[in-house]
Amino acid sequence: MRNLRKRKMKHYFVILILTILFSCSSSKTENENSNNTSDTILNKSSVNYSLDEQPAKTIIDFLKWYRENQGIQSNLVNNSDSKTWDSTKFFSVNFAATEKYLSDLHATGFISEKYINEWRIYFKKCDKDFKDNLYNEPPIEGFDYDFIMQSQETEEDLKNLENSKVVYSNVSGDTSTVKINFVNGNKLLYKLTRHSDKWLIDHIERHWDN
């Protein structure tokens, strides 16, 4: 009888231990599932970017200004005007005009010195290319697209600027990367840095993902 009682107690003890272990395991699984659910919700909510949020607002405000001043990208290349074109002359960068162009951009308060210097280097490389290859017939290599919109088709994108969509925005300290999809299919990636309480555009490039 005593042995039977011991066996029953041992059996009861085993069942109790298993019950406790199962309860702990279930609780842990529920917590993990809860965390996974929270992560999923966080990831989903993180793609609801707004054009009014910084630094995306800096980009949109700049493009609104550019929409009204798109003509500033003109006469940047000597001997490129069809009315005064001379077949005996070759293309060269009009550095007085490029400096005026860059100065106008910088004066908006949305463009950084880094962006300005990047384009100064670009214009010097283009001028060297003109001199090395002696171009004098269109298209004008390196100047046959809109530098700000990185495209030859800009009218619809600028006209419908307010309908653009921020599809990616990341801020890390004083730097930010923002990707905007425009209505006409153009996709641009912007890199910005924070200067005191302002975000300034350092770089703009075309994004070619699907």
pLDDT, tens digit, 9 for 90 and up, residues 82-105: 888 898 899 999 999 999 999 999
d(CA 7, CA 3): 6
pTM of this prediction? 0.75
DSSP alpha helix (H) spans, 1-112: 2-45, 56-68, 95-106
Residue 149 vs residues 61, 81, 190, 203: alpha-carbon distances, Å:
14, 22, 11, 12
List domains and CATH numbers for the chain: 56-206 (3.10.450.50)
The pLDDT, as a whole number, for residue 49 is 76
